[in-house]
Amino acid sequence: MIAELLFAVFFGLLLLGIHRKVIARIQRRPGPPVWQEILHMLKFSFKTTWIPKTASAALFVGVVLVAIGIWSAALFVVISGGSLLVIFAIYMLHKIVEHGFGLSSGSPYGKFGGVRSVISAASEIPLLVSVAAIAIFTHSLLISDIVSYQEVHGPLLITIPLAAIAMYVVLISKMPFGPFSIVESKELVSGYKTEHFGVWRAGLEVCNGLKTYVLLLTFILVFIGSLPFWLTLLTMLILVITLSFVCALSPMLSPYDSVTVQTLLAGLMLVYVGVLGVMS
């Protein structure tokens, strides 16, 4: 498990680096090297670190520990074939963690980032809807059961493509530089993580690597099924490249528009799941 944990951190960060590189190439910039996010994590861990005077020290440090802890737990749940509802719960918990990040420092930029994180909770509704659509077909929310179902009936990506799109929207909302990245938009400096520098930011980078790996792995297991390890990594890479195209070719929405678009998508998905429920 230690090996899986370390691999997930570094591969997740590598994927985020590839994400930045692809966006840069689409915008005709050279872009950073693909391992830039790994270097970021190392760089931050070597920077001078302290806690701002205005911060709530326990919360300021505690949220970093919680952020890494919850995504480590999420990784173990996914690789052990645990419940999709736990992943959903951890995703929601991450929103609270982002809020804690923002409020803990006493900085207005952080606070605005934290508040935006809460209002962008609309992105969770498509995730809940895709979970409901999966449950209608598989009659189970255990990832191991969902994988077994797909071995018999084929990938859920083909059976319920709109649910896969809903989950894909969730992935977009979690990728940096995306249309829904309102919590980190530049008018807020770095949003909720503005005041978390040095070791604290290095911890947050570890969390980001884990989160990216876990969400992509969950998407693959739930909508495509169990693949050989190398093919899983290749599929993750392809998914990230498609996400990079979406992020590079779409403007960052204003907070109001972001929530409106996500709520409309969630509404459409609710209708879809309603129809699926009636037909099944």
Partner 1 sequence: MKKKNALALTLVAAGSGVAAMALSMASILPGWAYAAVLVLAFPLFVLGLGLYWMAREGEEDIPFLGY
Contacts with partner 1, residue ranges (CB under 8 A) = 1-2, 5, 44-54, 61, 64-69, 72-73, 76, 80, 105-110, 194-195, 198-200, 202-203, 206
Q: Count Cβ atoms below 10 Å from residue 261 Cβ, excluding itself.
A: 16
Least distance from partner 1 to the Cβ atom of residue 99, Å: 18
d(CA 105, CA 146): 41
Least distance from partner 1 to the Cβ atom of residue 206, Å: 5
3-state secondary structure of 248: helix
- Shorter beta-carbon distance to partner 1: residue 67 or 125: 67
d(CA 37, CA 121): 26
Least distance from partner 1 to the Cβ atom of residue 152, Å: 27
Question: Is there a contact between 75 and 213 (Cβ–Cβ < 8 Å)?
Answer: yes
- Shorter beta-carbon distance to partner 1: residue 31 or 81: 81
- Shorter beta-carbon distance to partner 1: residue 85 or 246: 85
112 φ, ψ to 5°?
Answer: -65, -40
- Shorter beta-carbon distance to partner 1: residue 185 or 262: 185
- Shorter beta-carbon distance to partner 1: residue 97 or 247: 97
Least distance from partner 1 to the Cβ atom of residue 225, Å: 23
252-257 long-range CB contacts below 8 Å, 24 or more apart? 252/177, 252/178, 252/179, 252/181, 252/182, 252/185, 253/179, 253/180, 253/182, 254/182, 255/116, 255/119, 255/120, 255/182
Q: Which two tokens stand for residue 110?
A: 């952080």
Q: What is the DSSP letter of 187?
A: G
- Shorter beta-carbon distance to partner 1: residue 9 or 171: 9
Least distance from partner 1 to the Cβ atom of residue 50, Å: 5
Least distance from partner 1 to the Cβ atom of residue 69, Å: 5
d(CA 41, CA 237): 20
